Structure 1
Amino acid sequence: MKEINIFQKQFQAKDNDIIVASFPKSGTTWLKAIAFAIVNRQCFSSIHNHPLLSSNPHQLVPYIEFMYPANSHFPTTEPRLLGTHIPFPSLSKSIIDSNCKIIYICRNPFDTFISAWHFFNKVRQYCSSSALTIEEAFEMYCNGIIEFGPWWSHMLGYWKESIVRPNKILILKYEDIKENVNLYVKRVAEFLDFPFTQEEESNGVIESIIRLCSFEKMKDLEVNKSGIVYDGLENKHYFRKAEIGGWVNYFSPSMTEKLSKIMEEKLSGSGLSFKIMHS
């Protein structure tokens, strides 16, 4: 909270900043890698010496909220690529008022919960806290007691703003990208004003970015098997399964019913909906 407070007061956005925003465990690592590869494709045209092969995406696209107090270094090259899990209304005024671009990724709340439960238990382990059972974690999730606030208000904050300012915020769904990654890589590039040329498309540049940023490729890299990003949390914890529909292996019928009702109640009338797929 202290760091976020400092960020709100001190952070000065630039009009060409690019911010990758998300609720935790929604496909953030993947989108950060894709955005970095798109924006920097002229600097690193050779895939063999690409920064994504030797650095975790969270190092290349750092979280703004983890950069305060000011003992961390902001990216010096422009456009600056930054990440955040902060809800839209809590962003610094300079981000909201500037022309910087925000790409927001969300994921169906069933899979998000399972991924978050696994991940935050790793965090608790590091902090020497006992792991939460799935029942305890589910109760908290349903009540919105989770880092960065209730998932429904987080999604809706960015979603509603994207309707008002479609040139500023692009909403992406994890499941949609998985289904047609080529289409969405092109869409992200266009939104960020880094569209692919006809020549790049013919030369397979989009496909090489997709391969470079794929879950299988990133999970297999040495840097993502061993290194550490934040507060002792290991890089490997950011790469679990990247599945759609894996939640069915964990949910009881009553849990399924409860979360379905919450989704219906909270997202009703917003226009935001999710296909709940089974793996």
Structure 2
Amino acid sequence: MSSEISSSPPKYLQEEEALTQECNALISTLPTRKGWWASHLYQYQGFWYLQALISCRKHFQLQNCDIFLVTSPKSGTTWLKALVFTLAYRTKYPITKNHPLINNNPHDLVPFLETRLYVDNQIPDFSSFPHPRIFSTHSPHTSLPETVQKSSNCKIVYLCRNPKDVFVSLWHFTNKLRLNGTNSMEEVFDSFCQGVSGYGPFWDHVLEYWNLSKENPDRVLFFKFEDLKEKPGLLIRRLAEFLGCPFSAGEEESGLVDEILKFCSFENLSALEINKNGKLSSGVENKVFFRQGVVGDWRNYLANEMAEKIDKITEEKFNGSGLII
């Protein structure tokens, strides 16, 4: 498998010299495997990462009103960011032609905590962030900063997705980031099933947050991409309640719920000029985050035996948990 990546890769995907000495020292001790588009994945605390999270874990200063949007990669992250940003800041940023999402990709408005913000040996300045601060992460709970793990006040929103659709979407996405050639589906399928993918194993990642949501539902909201597609109005209202900003009677009467859903829809966001021709501040083209956004696309790509293998792993991993995806 080629270790080359996009000619304009995010800084957090570049080689280890871009990291702190502390990160490099830890990385040198970790098990490694070839990545799907970055050079290597590193196994840390039972999960596979593009790089270790030392700087973030050590330096992040939590505020009690912080909101963390958590997903396994390719589980609806872009959509979740757009929805929560628009929902939480609807008073500050009404839906008009000047709304930040018109000229900014959701990933620039809600940055990834451990990758976008803690690179180049810099500690980020959050003073300009609106409140409540909203961060995104793919990290399992055990690898978040200890202040986040122990907080009883910050909110965590977790969105999961059927693993077959996750795998297919991840395969497409990582191939778009490669400079030369593509990974064959068969080449990375076994790795995914073995848990060797960014922030994987997928099933362990999901179960960790599922269990947390059962233990502390006031702090962790767990929901499914498929349910959000099927019942968006119900779930966005639940999300607003969870975040402490429920829709008022006046907002309901004005049709604001439907307005937010339409504004943040795949069809609307993917048609914006910024998402057709723009790039993230990291250099990645925005259009790579908009492919299909549908449920069940895996049927167009996975052979029956591949789908059955993922289903079997899912059944075994989630057995007794009460979780069905």
Match of 1:186 in 2: 237
Match of 2:122 in 1: 70
Residue identity matched to 1:92: P
1:65 to partner: Cα distance: 0.9
CA spacing shift, 1:83–1:45, aligned 2, 3 Å = same
Could you say which structure has the higher helix fraction?
1
1:251 to partner: Cα distance: 1.0
Instruction: Return the TM-score normalized by structure 1.
Output: 0.94
CA spacing shift, 1:140–1:230, aligned 2, 3 Å = farther
The partner residue of 2:102 within 39, 53, 68 is 53
String of CA shifts for 1:55-91, please: whole Å, max 9, x gaps.
1011111000121132654352211011000011111
Computed over aligned residues only, the root mean square deviation of the Cα atoms, in angstroms, reads 1.4
3-state DSSP of counterpart to 1:41: coil
1:175 and 1:46 mapped to 2: Cα distance?
26
3-state DSSP of counterpart to 2:158: strand
The partner residue of 1:96 within 149, 152, 156 is 149
Equivalent pair of 2:59/2:123 in contact (CA under 8 Å): no
1:2 to partner: Cα distance: 5.2
String of CA shifts for 1:156-190, please: whole Å, max 9, x gaps.
11111111111110001000000011111101100
The partner residue of 2:162 within 108, 127, 149 is 108
Matched positions, count: 271
1:203 and 1:42 mapped to 2: Cα distance?
14
2:303 and 2:296 mapped to 1: Cα distance?
14
String of CA shifts for 1:97-148, please: whole Å, max 9, x gaps.
12110100000001111000000111223xx5x4210001111110111011
Alignment gaps of 5+ in structure 2: 1-49
3-state DSSP of counterpart to 1:9: helix
1:48 to partner: Cα distance: 2.1
Equivalent pair of 2:108/2:281 in contact (CA under 8 Å): no
1:233 and 1:49 mapped to 2: Cα distance?
24
3-state DSSP of counterpart to 1:172: strand
Instruction: Return the TM-score normalized by structure 2.
Output: 0.81
1:3 to partner: Cα distance: 5.6
Identity of aligned residues (%): 44
The partner residue of 1:82 within 135, 138, 161 is 135
Alignment gaps of 5+ in structure 1: 275-279
Moved more, 65-74 or 235-244: 65-74
Moved more, 251-260 or 17-26: 251-260
Map 1:1-279 → 2, pairs under 5 A: 4-66=53-115, 67-68=117-118, 69-70=121-122, 72-74=124-126, 76-98=129-151, 99-125=153-179, 128=180, 130-229=181-280, 231-274=282-325
Residue identity matched to 1:88: H
String of CA shifts for 1:9-44, please: whole Å, max 9, x gaps.
111111100111000000011011000011111112
